[in-house]
Structure 1
Amino acid sequence: MKEFIEFIAKHLVDHPDGVVVEEKAVEEKKVVLSLKVKPEDVGKVIGKQGKTAQAMRTLLTAVAAKEGKRAVLEIED
């Protein structure tokens, strides 16, 4: 899941070297992922009216469900 979000984010931003994905809290059935990008790339990851971020969260939910887990994506600047 971590690699999946990293892959998507790196292809959205202008500075792919500034993309960092960390697993903040890992429980048996729940994973919290933290996505950090450079300040100038935050808008590209969030998208208009948050649609890009929502799409990433939807895809992450589908990937996590395949593994029998729940996943939460937090976008930090």
Structure 2
Amino acid sequence: MAEELLTYLTRSLVSRPDEVKIEKEQEGEITVFKVSVDPEDMGRLIGRGGKTAKAVRELVGKAAACSEEGRVQVV
């Protein structure tokens, strides 16, 4: 559920959604999602002062907790 939400949110925020790539890695008990977007969309995804990126991280983390997927980290 967390990966699907992250994909949906990221693609909704950028102007080139087909350029979104999400890699999933397991580091111990933590699932790490590495997000790559078109360089022109980086500012849009990060947001002013990192607020958008922080909001996406929080939403994905809450979704993972609610679905008992464990801890996640979005980078």
The TM-score, its normalising length taken from structure 1, stands at 0.87
Show CA shifts across 1:7-37 (max 9, x none).
001110010000011102254x321001100
Q: Structure 2: which 5+ residue stretches go unaligned?
A: none
Amino acid at match of 1:52: T
2:35 paired residue number: 35
* Residue type of the alignment partner of 2:14: V
Q: Which residue of 2 aligns with 1:57?
A: 57
Q: Is the 8 A contact 1:30 1:70 kept in 2?
A: yes
Number of aligned residue pairs: give it: 73
Kindly, what percent of the aligned residue pairs are identical? Answer: 36
Q: 2:44 and 2:14 mapped to 1: Cα distance?
A: 6
TM-score, scaled to structure 2:
0.89
**CA contact under 8 A between 1:31 and 1:71: conserved in structure 2?**
yes
Counterpart secondary structure, 1:31: strand
Cα distance, 1:22–1:68 mapped onto 2, change above 3 Å: closer
Query: Gaps spanning 5+ residues in structure 1: where?
Result: none
The aligned counterpart of 2:4 is: 3
Could you report, residue by residue, the CA deviation over 1:18-75 in whole angstroms, capped at 9, with x for unpaired residues?
Answer: 0011102254x3210011000000000000000000000110110111115000000x
**Off by >4 Å, runs of 4+ in structure 1:** none
